[in-house]
């Protein structure tokens, strides 16, 4: 037996069965850049939580009984291997629990079914998945460095000769491992990355042909294609490799992926397009897509209902669909309105290159293939650069959640919160709660909504010298401060020093004894603070990513407890979080007013107020004083001091509009919230006009120049001098077309697209404009005037004036008692009161 010692960083986890047992197969690298496969196993078990006050004798008998359980599952014989008694916690309460060992993880379900015994209260811990169970058991955490030693299997017959059939530098059976402390500081890891992108002549999966595939890696760029131009322009296209036909293209793709042998194969929407397309064409043309390290083909998992295709896994190579990760980790903080590769790349990479992808049409004969190659390659290059940019975040997400990158890159934030909890339960001696079953989920979904945040009704106007205070991680710190969670919820039973709040007319209580959920959240918030502080001293991409991961976790914890799919769902905890936070912010508003400031606005966790006769430093002192009076870990911070601020009325009536304001910072920066300016379902013309008006009004302190500007815009509209692209309205299709009850303009636009055989699915951004009806057409409804963005036609002057630009400008001028309708002719329906 040959043994080896090496350092090792795990990247991908998979498992297989051999002689009835489960083995984990970890693919990773060592610091020499060698690719390793590590085979290991771990104990497999589930928990049976015993009923209270069972006598010792009865427990012993029960253990003997369970030990005798034998199963015959589809001809496979298996049995309970051992049973041990432990003192554990479940939802914070001490319990006696049996640890029931089995041979194979897949049998746990069937064993649990056999445990419907009177002595057993609950069965838990058999729905985690083997990889998660393994990581919990052996603490071999993704993307951490380990010193390992094991038996070399490269020429071994063991495990069905796995060592001989796997394209790795070394395959070993793990014997010992030790974590290398602070390893990320000592050993850096630079992954081998290959980005890819395909071009096809038909967008529906597999229904057209793949025309070309591009590949991009650090020092490698390639376009494989079977489409040649008739004449060459002389442009340098030496990255292009020609093949005979589509089948050869697929062969070449496989060949290059195998040759490059990347750690990560990265695409953009590749779970939903590129990889399934490649599979469909490979099946059709009978070309095996053997890109796995064991020469297996990609495996496709089922997607959820209405959410398209599921993830696509390649054995030994981590397949990443960057779009998924961007959606969960970045999109809420991004400016981009669509998550198209070009827009996202231009935001993250400052790639200003205008990237018009040439539209392929099978009817076009003299196609400019050379341009097409270039665009195809560019998409892979962008994907590669985006991956490099996001790599620190992927790395830290994986380390913090302790789940493989393949999973964390696809999970939503609720799964991330849950993974973090699951992998930290052992410190609390906690048995994991089960995932809710179908009936529980539907029951939870039918629950009434609970009362949420407080929003202050502003008095419309323009204000000067404004300060804004924010609660840092408001809901997170509330959960920690008041110990709000499923395991600390007492219902209507009071305890000594318990936290009480009235929800829906009933008083409920939460224990004072810290629960594991708030405790974990407290650690998360403290760690976030620590890394943020470290960042202030020294900027570092990995620290930034870590800080960001903890911030996102802290922010998602509240939503998690109110989420119907959560293991640790607790509607009362979620409702109490909103309730306590609401009480707290109202108290602070009172205090600010008592200190002779004047609060003008507040929403959820922020308060804007006039500093009046006071100085900024005095206001900061006041902030300190406020903080000293806040309970627990709750904390207020200064968001900023602002020169001016604007609040407007609602469209209907004279009361102030909530969630709509604009602030001009001392540094000249504008902070605009809620206005049409920031809404993508308004046309760029209306948005830009409003933005300019807000800017002028805030900078000048009056409306005069803004009015001049507005008049110019109106003139241009009437003279049809506005570009079509400034009139496009973008609206997201939120569900399948057939489910719409109201036929709105964007539904009509989507139907038009469908008629053109463009595949329309939920999540598509529908782009359209409103066209001028011809005389006598009598098209009254907006939806009767919808044109697709590339459809020819004149724009509807009346619509863009009276339904877009003027409504966006109107209530800003109203603040200055200027009625734009009186001043500007062209608003057709003048009301009697206007004369």
Partner DNA sequence: GTGCGTGCCCTACC
Partner DNA sequence: ACCGGTAGGGCACGCAC
Residue ranges that bind DNA, judged by CB under 7 A? 304-305, 307, 332, 337, 410-415, 441, 449-453, 455, 555-556, 558-560, 562-565, 574, 578, 603-604, 648, 650-652, 657-660, 673-674, 678-681, 730-735, 739-746, 765, 781-783, 803, 807, 811
Q: Tokens at residue 636, please?
A: 């207020």
> Which is closer to DNA, CB of 286 or CB of 780?
780
The pair phi, psi for residue 557, each rounded to 5°, is -60, -40
> Which is closer to DNA, CB of 314 or CB of 657?
657
Distance, in Å, from the CA atom of 212 to the CA atom of 464, rounded to the nearest integer, reads 59
> Which is closer to DNA, CB of 410 or CB of 644?
410
User: How do beta strands 220-225 and 240-242 pair?
Assistant: parallel
Distance, in Å, from the CA atom of 35 to the CA atom of 55, rounded to the nearest integer, reads 54
Q: Least separation, in Å, of the C-beta of 773 and DNA? A: 13
Length of the chain (residues): 835
> Which is closer to DNA, CB of 107 or CB of 605?
605
Distance, in Å, from the CA atom of 157 to the CA atom of 161, rounded to the nearest integer, reads 4
> Which is closer to DNA, CB of 296 or CB of 744?
744
Q: Tokens at residue 691, please?
A: 């933005």
Q: Least separation, in Å, of the C-beta of 436 and DNA? A: 9
> Which is closer to DNA, CB of 348 or CB of 564?
564
| Positive or negative torsion for Cα 233, 237, 242, 246 | negative
> Which is closer to DNA, CB of 117 or CB of 782?
782
Distance, in Å, from the CA atom of 758 to the CA atom of 142, rounded to the nearest integer, reads 41
CB 690 within 8 A of CB 726: no
Q: Least separation, in Å, of the C-beta of 337 and DNA? A: 6
> Which is closer to DNA, CB of 183 or CB of 270?
270
> Which is closer to DNA, CB of 222 or CB of 567?
567
- Cα angle 788, 791, 797 (rounded to 5 degrees) comes to 80
All residues at 6 or more sequence positions from 169 whose CB lies less than 8 Å from its CB, including other chains: 34, 35, 36
Q: Least separation, in Å, of the C-beta of 466 and DNA? A: 15
Q: Least separation, in Å, of the C-beta of 484 and DNA? A: 14
Q: Tokens at residue 209, please?
A: 């042909």
> Which is closer to DNA, CB of 96 or CB of 551?
551
Distance, in Å, from the CA atom of 126 to the CA atom of 248, rounded to the nearest integer, reads 45
CB 232 within 8 A of CB 373: no
CB 48 within 8 A of CB 97: yes
Q: Least separation, in Å, of the C-beta of 428 and DNA? A: 22
- Residue 89's DSSP bridge partners are 94, 430
CA dihedral of residues 814, 818, 819, 824 (deg, nearest 10): -130
Q: Least separation, in Å, of the C-beta of 79 and DNA? A: 33
Q: Least separation, in Å, of the C-beta of 507 and DNA? A: 19
Q: Least separation, in Å, of the C-beta of 418 and DNA? A: 10
Distances 237 to 221, 229, 241, 502 between C-alpha atoms, Å: 11, 12, 9, 70
Q: Least separation, in Å, of the C-beta of 761 and DNA? A: 12
CB 599 within 8 A of CB 606: no
> Which is closer to DNA, CB of 423 or CB of 551?
551
> Which is closer to DNA, CB of 307 or CB of 625?
307
> Which is closer to DNA, CB of 500 or CB of 604?
604
Alpha-helical segments (H) within 425-539: 438-445, 474-482, 516-537
| Positive or negative torsion for Cα 567, 571, 574, 576 | negative
Q: Least separation, in Å, of the C-beta of 725 and DNA? A: 17
Distance, in Å, from the CA atom of 269 to the CA atom of 12, rounded to the nearest integer, reads 20
Q: DSSP assignment, residue 804?
A: I
Nearest to 471 by CA among 599, 581, 548, 559: 581
> Which is closer to DNA, CB of 172 or CB of 686?
686
CB under 8 Å, gap of 24 or more: what pairs does 659-665 form? 659/455, 659/603, 661/458, 661/601, 661/608, 662/694, 662/698, 663/466, 663/468, 663/608, 663/698, 664/698, 664/699, 665/640, 665/641
Ordered DSSP codes for 717-740: HHTT-S-GGGS-EEEE--S-GGG-
> Which is closer to DNA, CB of 658 or CB of 716?
658
Q: Least separation, in Å, of the C-beta of 237 and DNA? A: 39
Q: Least separation, in Å, of the C-beta of 403 and DNA? A: 13
- Residue 6's DSSP bridge partners are 148
CB 92 within 8 A of CB 516: yes
All residues at 6 or more sequence positions from 3 whose CB lies less than 8 Å from its CB, including other chains: 149, 150, 151, 152, 175
CB 766 within 8 A of CB 647: no
Q: Least separation, in Å, of the C-beta of 757 and DNA? A: 22
Distances 596 to 591, 660, 663 between C-alpha atoms, Å: 9, 25, 22
SS3 call for 152: strand
Q: Tokens at residue 134, please?
A: 């393994």
State the CB neighbour count (10 A cutoff) for residue 569: 21
Distance, in Å, from the CA atom of 27 to the CA atom of 325, rounded to the nearest integer, reads 21
Q: Least separation, in Å, of the C-beta of 412 and DNA? A: 3
Q: Least separation, in Å, of the C-beta of 834 and DNA? A: 14
Q: Least separation, in Å, of the C-beta of 394 and DNA? A: 16
> Which is closer to DNA, CB of 287 or CB of 588?
588
- Residue 95's DSSP bridge partners are 88
Q: What does the radius of gyration of the chain's CA atoms come to, in whole angstroms? A: 31
Q: Least separation, in Å, of the C-beta of 269 and DNA? A: 15
> Which is closer to DNA, CB of 36 or CB of 549?
549
> Which is closer to DNA, CB of 743 or CB of 830?
743
């Amino acid at each position: 037996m040959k043994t080896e010692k090496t350092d090792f960083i795990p990247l991908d986890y998979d498992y297989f069965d051999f002689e009835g047992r489960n083995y984990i197969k970890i693919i990773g690298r060592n610091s020499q850049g060698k690719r390793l496969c590590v085979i290991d196993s771990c104990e497999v078990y589930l928990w049976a939580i015993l009923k209270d006050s069972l006598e010792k004798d009865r427990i012993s008998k029960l253990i003997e009984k369970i030990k005798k359980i034998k199963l015959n599952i589809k001809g496979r014989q298996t049995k309970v291997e051992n049973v041990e008694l432990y003192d554990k916690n479940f939802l914070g309460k001490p319990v006696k629990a049996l640890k029931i060992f089995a041979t194979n993880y897949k049998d746990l379900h069937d064993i649990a079914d056999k445990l419907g015994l009177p002595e057993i209260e609950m069965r838990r811990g058999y729905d985690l998945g083997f990889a998660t169970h393994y990581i919990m058991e052996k603490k071999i955490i993704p993307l951490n460095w380990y010193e390992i030693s094991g038996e070399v299997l490269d020429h071994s017959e063991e495990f069905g000769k796995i060592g001989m059939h796997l394209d790795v530098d070394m395959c070993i059976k793990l014997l010992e491992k030790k974590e290398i402390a602070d390893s990320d500081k000592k050993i850096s890891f630079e992954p081998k990355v290959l980005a890819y992108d395909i071009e096809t002549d038909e967008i529906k999966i597999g229904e057209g042909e793949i025309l070309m595939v591009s590949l991009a890696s650090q020092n490698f760029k390639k376009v494989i294609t079977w489409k040649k131009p008739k004449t060459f322009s002389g442009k340098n296209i030496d990255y292009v490799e020609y093949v005979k036909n589509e089948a050869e293209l697929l062969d070449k793709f496989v060949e290059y992926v195998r040759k490059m042998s990347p750690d990560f194969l990265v695409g953009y929407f590749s779970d939903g397009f590129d990889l399934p397309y490649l599979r469909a064409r490979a099946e059709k043309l009978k070309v095996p897509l053997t890109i796995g390290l064991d020469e297996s083909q990609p495996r496709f998992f089922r997607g959820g209902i209405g959410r398209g295709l599921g993830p696509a896994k390649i054995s030994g190579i981590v397949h990443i669909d960057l779009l998924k990760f961007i959606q969960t980790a970045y999109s809420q903080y991004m400016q981009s309105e669509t998550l198209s590769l070009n827009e996202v790349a231009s935001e993250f990479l400052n790639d200003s290159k205008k990237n018009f992808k040439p539209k392929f049409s099978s009817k076009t004969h003299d196609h400019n293939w050379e341009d097409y190659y270039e665009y195809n390659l560019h998409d892979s290059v962008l994907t590669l650069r985006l991956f490099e940019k996001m790599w620190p975040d992927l790395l830290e997400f994986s380390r913090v959640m302790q789940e493989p990158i393949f999973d964390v890159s696809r999970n939503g934030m609720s799964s991330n919160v849950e993974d973090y909890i699951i992998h930290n339960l052992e410190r609390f001696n906690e048995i994991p709660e089960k995932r809710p079953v179908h009936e529980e989920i539907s029951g939870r979904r039918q629950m009434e909504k609970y009362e949420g945040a407080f929003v202050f009704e502003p008095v419309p106007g323009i204000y000067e010298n404004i300060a804004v205070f924010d609660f840092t991680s408001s809901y997170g710190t509330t959960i920690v401060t008041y110990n709000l969670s499923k395991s600390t919820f007492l219902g209507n039973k009071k305890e000594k020093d318990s936290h009480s709040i009235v929800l829906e007319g009933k008083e409920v209580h939460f224990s004072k004894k810290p629960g594991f959920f708030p405790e974990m959240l407290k650690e998360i918030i403290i760690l976030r603070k620590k890394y943020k502080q470290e960042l202030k001293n020294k900027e570092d991409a990995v620290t930034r990513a870590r800080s960001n991961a903890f911030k996102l976790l802290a922010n998602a914890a509240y939503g998690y407890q109110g989420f119907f799919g959560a293991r640790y769902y607790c509607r009362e905890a979620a409702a109490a979080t909103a309730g306590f936070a609401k009480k707290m912010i109202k108290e602070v508003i009172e205090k600010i007013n008592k200190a002779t400031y004047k609060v003008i606005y507040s929403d959820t966790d922020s308060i804007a107020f006039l500093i009046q006769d006071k100085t900024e430093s005095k206001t900061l002192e006041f902030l300190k004083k406020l903080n000293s009076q806040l309970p627990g870990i709750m904390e207020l911070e200064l968001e900023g001091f602002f020169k001016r601020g604007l609040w407007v009325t609602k469209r209907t009536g004279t009361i102030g509009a909530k969630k709509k304001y604009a602030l001009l910072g001392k540094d000249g920066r504008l902070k605009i919230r809620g206005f049409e300016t920031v809404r993508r379902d308004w046309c760029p013309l209306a948005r830009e006009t409003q933005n300019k008006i807000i800017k002028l009004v805030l900078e000048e302190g009056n409306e005069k120049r803004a009015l001049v500007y507005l008049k110019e815009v109106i003139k241009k509209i009437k003279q049809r001098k506005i570009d079509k692209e400034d009139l496009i309205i973008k609206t997201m299709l939120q569900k399948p077309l057939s489910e719409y009850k109201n036929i709105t303009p964007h539904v009509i636009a989507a139907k038009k697209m469908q008629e053109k055989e463009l595949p329309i699915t939920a999540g598509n951004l529908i782009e359209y404009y409103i066209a001028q009806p011809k005389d006598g057409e009598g098209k009254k409804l907006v939806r009767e005037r919808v044109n697709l963005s590339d459809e020819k036609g004149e724009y509807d002057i009346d619509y863009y004036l009276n339904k877009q630009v003027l409504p966006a400008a109107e209530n800003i001028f109203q603040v200055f008692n200027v009625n734009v309708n009186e001043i500007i002719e062209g608003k057709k329906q003048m009301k009697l009161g206007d004369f």
